[in-house]
Amino acid sequence: MIPFNKPCNIGTEHEAIKQAMNQQKLAGNGPFAEKCSQWMEARLGCEKAILTPSCTAALEMTALLAEIGEGDEVIMPSYTFVSTANAFVLRGADIRFVDVTPGTMNIDPDQTANAITSRTKAIVVVHYAGVSCDMDRIMELAEKHHLWVIEDAAQALMSSYRGKPLGSIGHMGTFSFHETKNYTCGEGGALLVNDPSLIERAEILQEKGTDRSQFLKGVVDKYTWRDIGSSFLLSELNAAYLSVQLDHAEKINANRIRSWNNYQKGLQELFDQEMLEGPHIPEDCEHNAHMFYIKTKDGQERSRLIAYLKEQGVMAVPHYVPLHSSDAGKRFGSFIGEDRWTTVESERILRLPLYYGLTEKDVDHGITAIHKYFQK
Ligand SMILES: *Cc1c(COP(=O)(O)O)cnc(C)c1O
């Protein structure tokens, strides 16, 4: 069976973990965390990058930093992971779900504009499959209405929009290093703070509401309780594992892109014959091959294709159930405007196996199986 995902492993992670053990510093913000932060700050050109236990935790930090409270409205796509919404629901916000554009499954800027009210505080964009949202339109809207822009870039490390790395465009950006993402340490994440006025508070929130990070830099001689906060730190053991993956980021990216391009080439004929639809990458976007998805005619055909591929030894999986149709989504938010694409398109999406080290032979096997299904 070709699995849908295999956690990325370069092969030398255990040496870095051993080194972390020898340095006698295992808590957060140690030397390996510092190395990962510096890598992100240099590679992404952001003001400040801090490691968190997950993207979920980083999103919770953005809600605290944006001072979202009871009755505030936050706009986001319904087609996303629960954490995008949960982070703001935890602060008492009303979630305003809007439609996506079908080509990218990213938030529709027109629907976003339509959902803005005097209570709107933030727009949360999700770069689905590592392909950028229309950031020029979103930033323009945010500036006009004085809103925060938070990029849920969980899937988008190493992707860019008009040459700008994703995660570094809005006021804040978040990444995930969960085992299903391109770069991993099992569970982990990062917060990019692009607005310099938020950096000091971000460091305090991360360290349980204390100024411990200033203490470690020698700026203050003891650390004290300064603000609300939590333990938003990543263990050094995880940071050590992650540091190896970031050191090999170009190699991992190239390997994934090769598989992605092979899928695209191998299925092009079926896209041309309109048996299936393939992913759409807008001209301004450079993507990171986080995901290769196809769209079947409808949900029933998707179920049949999943079953057939399983018989052929290929694990293909659907993705999000739109949040506005879930129990919690109905309780904590509402859909604004027409659900023209979110529900129908979400029922057609099927993700194919894609991970670092996936062989060309396995990609070919998947492509052949899909062709065989449509010849039947
Ligand atoms: C994976 C993912 C998350 C959650 O990441 P964790 O690190 O598991 O918390 C959030 N948003 C999106 C869009 C994701 O793909």
User: Could you please report the per-residue DSSP string of 91-140?
Assistant: TTPEEEEE-EETTTTEEPHHHHHHH--TTEEEEEEE-GGG----HHHHHH
pLDDT at position 216 is 87
202-217 mean pLDDT: 94
Q: Whose C-alpha lies nearest to ligand 1, atom 6?
A: 55
Domains of the chain: 13-248 (3.40.640.10), 250-375 (3.90.1150.10)
Per-residue pLDDT tens digits for 122-160? 999 999 999 999 999 999 999 999 999 999 999 999 999
The percent of residues above 70 in pLDDT, for the chain, comes to 100
Give distance in angstroms: CA of 23 to centre of ligand 1: 30
293-321 mean pLDDT: 98
- From the alpha carbon of 127, which atom of ligand 1 is closest? 13
Q: How far apart are CA 240 and CA 26, in angstroms?
A: 10
Mutate to test the pocket of ligand 1, among 59, 80, 81, 321 (most ligand atoms within 8 A of CB): 81
Give distance in angstroms: CA of 215 to centre of ligand 1: 31
Give distance in angstroms: CA of 291 to centre of ligand 1: 14
255 close to 287: Cβ distance less than 8 angstroms: no
Per-residue pLDDT tens digits for 213-234? 999 889 999 999 999 999 999 9
Give distance in angstroms: CA of 249 to centre of ligand 1: 19
Give distance in angstroms: CA of 369 to centre of ligand 1: 30
Per-residue pLDDT tens digits for 316-345? 999 999 999 999 999 999 999 999 999 999
83-97 mean pLDDT: 98
Output the CA torsion sign for 121, 138, 336, 116: positive
- Global model pTM greater than 0.85: yes
Average per-residue pLDDT in the chain? Answer: 97
- Under the banding of pLDDT at 50, 70 and 90, the label for residue 376 is confident
Q: Whose C-alpha lies nearest to ligand 1, atom 8?
A: 178
- Written as one letter, the residue type at 79 is Y
The percent of residues above 90 in pLDDT, for the chain, comes to 98
- From the alpha carbon of 155, which atom of ligand 1 is closest? 15
Pocket lining for ligand 1, CB < 6 angstroms:
54-56, 80-81, 83-84, 126, 152, 154-155, 176, 178, 189
Per-residue pLDDT tens digits for 14-37? 999 999 999 989 999 999 999 999
pLDDT at 66 over 90: yes
Give distance in angstroms: CA of 275 to centre of ligand 1: 31
Could you say which DSSP state residue 167 is in? T
pLDDT at position 217 is 86
